[in-house]
Amino acid sequence: MEITVKTAQQLRLTEEEFEAIKIKLGRIPNFNELCAFSGMWSEHCSYKNSIKWLKTLPRDGSRMLVKAGEENAGLMDIGDGLGLVFKIESHNHPSAIEPFQGAATGMGGIHRDIFTMGARPIAALNSLRFGNLEEDKTQHLLSGIVHGIGHYGNCFGVPTVGGEIYFDECYHTNPLVNAMSVGTVAIGETVSAIASGIGNPVMYVGSATGKDGIGGASFASADITADSTHDLPAVQVGDPFQEKKLLEACLEVIQTGAVVGMQDMGAAGIICSTAEMSAKAGTGMRIDLDKVPTRQNNSPDSRKDMKAWELLLSESQERMLLVAQKGREKEVQEVFAKWDLPSSVIGEVTDDGILQFYMKDKLEASLPAIELVLGGGAPQYERVYTAPGYFALIKKFEPAVVPVPADLKLIAEKLIRLPSIASKRWIYTQYDSMVGTVNSSTNAPSDAVVIAIKGTQKGIAITTDCNSRYVFADPYVGAMIAVSEAARNIICAGGHPLGITNCLNFGNPYDPEVYYQFVHAVKGMGDACRKFDTPVTGGNVSFYNQNPDGPVYPTPTIGMVGLLDDIHRKMTLDFKKEGDVIFLLGVTNNDINCSEYLHKICGIEYSPTPYFDLEEEYRLQQKLTELIHKRIVLSAHDISEGGLFVCLCEAGFNGELGFSVITNNSCRKDAFLFGEAQGRAIVTVALEKVQLFESVLTDFPFEKIGVVTGSELVVDGDFWGTIDWWKENYDTAIETYLSKEEAGLALNTI
Amino acid sequence: MKFGIVVFPGSNCDRDMYDALHDDLEQEVSMLWHKDRGLHKFSTEDCIILPGGFSFGDYLRCGAIARFSPMMQSVIEFAKAGGKVFGVCNGFQILCESHLLPGALLRNGNQLFVCKNVFITNGSGSLHKIPVAHGEGRYYADEKTLDKLEANGQVIFYYCDERGEKTNPANPNASMRHIAGICNATRNVFGMMPHPERACSSVLGNTDGRAIIKTLLMAEELVSDHG
């Protein structure tokens, strides 16, 4: 087979990249080698169009135990000899084509990133984006993705404890599935993804390799078109039972002390894990691909046997590459045999920095490891960017074109039932949220989920946040808001923000307007992270979330973790008793910009970001921390989508308590009730502590807006019904959108 | 008395059960590997627990493969000798597949996995809030078996609402007669779908599970009256 630039282009490499490969190798690559570069230099593995900007993010902190991007996930010190390992990752492209397996393997992949470092995953979150819920396609995607996440997570046995779901037209063809996993590990027992020690055996452990997911990394590095379903083999198939056994076996094998390094096989399979582990140590490997366990082994037709390039690129799930100490292979194999998992020695570490792959003693590929990887020979590009044209439409918006509605209660009733605002009950009850017995939020909810760290008094607060419409309106400010909201949620749960992981979902980076969104979102994220002292510990970039109709909203999802020294002192979001006084912390603004109210109810898509000031936000969070630590407030809940009214309802639902509030005359009533100006939170205070509360806030804006009632909602003296009515509408809204088939209701009567 | 928890590949509530028994109820507990055989360290005063999870992936009927594990043969012998055996969720499914308990657990009525708090009652006034988490928890048996279970007092828990009423919306999986848990005729083998081990720690804000474990497994009168 003659290898030409055309072959390279068919493998999604550019002409320039093909030339670069020839220079690096000093010859024309063979097909196997070209496939290796295709996978490793894909956007997904190489970060070639993003790394320049990612390096501008704050990536240092006193608690960070590994540098950002250096290992499979971030690792932070939480005291008591424990490290917290966490990461968020996208699985958007597979989920768009095959929602069930796409989402399931997304969960599998992110958990492997955690336990490959020696940590036990203790909590999972997911951040999902869909199109209009009234569309059949959206219902199909929602049902499949939720089913896939539940199928994998429930069986694997790690609780799905939180996340977020938004519905917006721009995600119709390109849904987003971002999965986050958090684990703990004893410091000193972590494992690095490194292939050191010349002569050490390279071992393959876990499921056998099949033809699934071949080319997945490069598939995820292209736009989704009508022809994308032809790429179905690029979608992997997951087996959570194998992964559960792999988890237990990996944690057990680490205890033997025979493991030198370990890395999961995710995107670009064997070629990626061998290249990255070798490049990190400056070593090479000699690998016999015949020794890789395959599913195709017994085929009588040898044409069906897997080829070298297929073995190199297969993204079959639930597999690990492990480098053991020479002479201790048997100890490793015994552990995997105990868990009924295949393991085999497939090669050894060499000293020349070259990856050599053999099949039937024939050299199939010979590649310098360093030339394949990010930070080595992988290309790094600077892309041009220009301000998007739609910014003109955003600037033109005048709130005056929206008259204040006469019947605000009617607006509130619509708002509480919007899919992005309504309860996600139909979704989260399909996830096991309690396995592991660490989820303290089941019976006492907070703005961020609070997870107990067994064996200590500590708790971990975790949240994922990104309002992508704000980022669309202004990528710099919108990304700052995403970080700020995450921090505000951690603070409202009584935690102290530690760090973030990010999942940057954007359109095609070769589109200068998309790249503008990316660059400015990264800048905003960096500035906000510096303010809150929350370094970026890792994450991933997903470009090409785009179809012929255009890109998705720029969606830089923030996964943030925070620490509570004493979990018993966590703060919750719900009203505690009738008669408690409700205060609004922060500045009341005459602002309806970018709100769910303006977009979904008034039908105005283009408006600027809501009011936001990073300095004020920071001061709010400091004040909240002081109030919570001094035990002056009984509940704290931040104001986000849906504004003050939705915030008050959410605080009332858990204890079925209502509220009576007076609107502020200084601004439009719709802005007061439904506006989404940032830097605000609702707290409740017992009557006897009101004086103390006010004395702490002499230097901070706040207003008393009402009291907690037994069950009724009263706004400016008007009776708005009782909390149970609002709760029923909030809880059941999403179910009523779904067809009976998708909701599972048709079979309810059997 | 002491407890043994059988670990199957795919068990994922084994450690939760250990923590509840050991840390919250301060009991002596050990883990038992499914490939091992023999319960000679245990007497009939002790209790063997089959925990929740997805044993062997549950790709066939839930519990259908686990029942053939070497350790299960010992558990069956142990139960027949009068030893106490307690299965939760997947453990309950394994007990039914092993015919240590009558009936079967089918896909939930709405075909969806469900995880939430539910209320359960023993039918004579008790009320506990306990989490469920399962896709196949709809208890099924023929009418004759159901009549017999109820007549003998072998239904240990029914699903109910927060007032103790057996209403349909309070039945999370459409189980027949709202059955959440049963025991055998000799009252030494117990199975239930709800997870009491998930409601034993004060950090979780729910300790209703402690009373269930104490009453079912550790009460003297159960042992002496029926053992």
- Asked whether residue A235 carries a pLDDT value surpassing 80, the answer given is no
Question: Which of B89, B160, B183, B200 is an active site residue?
Answer: B89
Residues of B in contact with A241 (CB under 8 A): 9-10, 54, 56-59
Mutation target vs A (from B65, B130, B204; most A CBs, 10 A cutoff): B204
Among candidates A682, A613, A606, which has minimal Cα distance to A642?
A: A682
Looking at chain B, which residue has its C-alpha nearest residue A239?
A: B57
Among candidates A584, A595, A589, A598, which has minimal Cα distance to A651?
A: A584
Pairs of residues, one from chain A and one from chain B, whose beta carbons lie less than 8 Å apart? 105
- Asked whether residue A230 carries a pLDDT value surpassing 70, the answer given is no
Q: Are the CB atoms for A555 and A505 separated by under 8 Å?
A: yes
Given this model, what pLDDT does residue A750 score?
Answer: 32
B203 and A452 in contact by Cβ < 8 A? yes
Among candidates A396, A420, A413, A407, which has minimal Cα distance to A669?
A: A407
Which residue, chain included where needed, has tokens 């050191």? A196
CA distance B195 to chain A (A): 9
List, for residues A678-726, the tens digit of each pLDDT value.
Answer: 999 999 999 999 999 999 999 999 999 999 999 999 999 999 999 999 9
Distance CA B191, CA B175 (A): 14
Least confident of A234-238, A349-353, A615-619, B211-215: A234-238
Examine the residue annotation and report whether B197 is marked as an active-site residue of this protein.
yes
SS3 A275: helix
Among candidates A147, A58, A171, which has minimal Cα distance to A529?
A: A58
Give chain B's end-to-end CA distance (angstroms, integer). Answer: 14
Q: Which residue has the higher pLDDT, A64 or A657?
A: A657
Interface residues from chain B to A (CB-CB < 8 Å)? 9-10, 12-13, 15-16, 19-20, 35, 52-54, 56-59, 109-117, 131, 133, 135, 174, 195, 197-198, 200-201, 203-206
Distance CA A75, CA A119 (A): 10
Q: CA separation (Å) from A457 to A270, A463, A564, A567, B151?
A: 41, 20, 9, 6, 47
- Asked whether residue A337 carries a pLDDT value surpassing 90, the answer given is yes
Instruction: Please state whether A141 falls in left (phi above 0), alpha (psi between -120 and 50) or beta.
Output: alpha
A437 and B109 in contact by Cβ < 8 A? no
B9 and A434 in contact by Cβ < 8 A? no
Of all residues in chain A, the percent with pLDDT exceeding 70 is: 95
Given this model, what pLDDT does residue A748 score?
Answer: 41
Given this model, what pLDDT does residue B222 score?
Answer: 42
Distance CA A107, CA A115 (A): 13
Given this model, what pLDDT does residue A373 score?
Answer: 94
Residues of A in contact with B206 (CB under 8 A): 442-443
A positions 320-339 inside 8 Å of B (CB): 338-339
Q: What is the mean pLDDT of chain A?
A: 94
For chain B (227 residues), the mean pLDDT of every run of 10, in chain order, is 96 98 96 95 95 95 95 97 97 98 96 97 95 98 98 97 96 98 97 98 96 84 38
Which residue, chain included where needed, has tokens 């452990």? A205
SS3 A628: helix
Given this model, what pLDDT does residue A233 score?
Answer: 64
B12 and A157 in contact by Cβ < 8 A? yes
Say how far residue A379 (Cα) sits from the centre of its chain. Answer: 26
Of all residues in chain A, the percent with pLDDT exceeding 90 is: 88
B12 and A431 in contact by Cβ < 8 A? no
Would you say the C-alpha torsion A303, A305, A309, A314 has a positive or negative sign? positive
Given this model, what pLDDT does residue A399 score?
Answer: 94
Residue A72 confidence class, pLDDT cut points 50, 70, 90: confident
A245 and B198 in contact by Cβ < 8 A? no
Beta pairing partners, A662: none
Q: How many residues does chain A have?
A: 750
How many Cβ atoms sit within 10 Å of the Cβ of residue B122?
Answer: 18
Examine the residue annotation and report whether A151 is marked as an active-site residue of this protein.
no
Instruction: Output the six-digit token pair for A387.
Output: 């301000």
Residues of B in contact with A146 (CB under 8 A): none
**Inter-helix orientation angle A31-40/A15-25, to 10°:** 120
List, for residues A20-39, the tens digit of each pLDDT value.
Answer: 999 999 999 999 999 999 99
Among candidates A350, A344, A321, A205, which has minimal Cα distance to A260?
A: A321
Question: Which of B34, B128, B134, B195 is an active site residue?
Answer: B195
Given this model, what pLDDT does residue A227 score?
Answer: 65
Among candidates B60, B51, B147, which has minimal Cα distance to B92?
A: B51
Instruction: Output the six-digit token pair for A432.
Output: 């096991």
How many Cβ atoms sit within 10 Å of the Cβ of residue A669?
Answer: 17
Entry pTM? 0.95
A443 and B110 in contact by Cβ < 8 A? no
A241 and B174 in contact by Cβ < 8 A? no
List, for residues A282-333, the tens digit of each pLDDT value.
Answer: 999 999 999 999 887 655 666 668 889 999 999 888 999 999 999 999 999 9
Given this model, what pLDDT does residue A295 score?
Answer: 83
Question: Which of A44, A111, A151, A172 is an active site residue?
Answer: A44
**A115 near B CB under 8 A:** no
SS3 A170: helix
Ordered domains of chain A (ranges, CATH) = 1-40+192-380 (3.90.650.10)
Distance CA A538, CA A502 (A): 7
B174 and A429 in contact by Cβ < 8 A? no
Examine the residue annotation and report whether B195 is marked as an active-site residue of this protein.
yes
Looking at chain A, which residue has its C-alpha nearest residue B53?
A: A155
Instruction: Output the six-digit token pair for A616.
Output: 């004020």
A241 and B9 in contact by Cβ < 8 A? yes
Looking at chain A, which residue has its C-alpha nearest residue B14?
A: A436
Looking at chain B, which residue has its C-alpha nearest residue A244?
A: B10
Alpha helices in A461-566 (DSSP H): 468-473, 475-492, 512-532
Any idea what DSSP says for residue A188?
Answer: T
Which residue among B16, B112, B200 sits closest to A436, beta carbon to beta carbon? B16
A747 and B20 in contact by Cβ < 8 A? no
Given this model, what pLDDT does residue A468 score?
Answer: 98
Residue A229 confidence class, pLDDT cut points 50, 70, 90: low
Distance CA A349, CA A326 (A): 10
Q: What is the ipTM of this complex?
A: 0.95
Give me the mean pLDDT over the A243-247 stretch: 96
Ordered domains of chain B (ranges, CATH) = 2-218 (3.40.50.880)
Distance CA B13, CA B19 (A): 10
- Asked whether residue A749 carries a pLDDT value surpassing 60, the answer given is no
Given this model, what pLDDT does residue B218 score?
Answer: 80
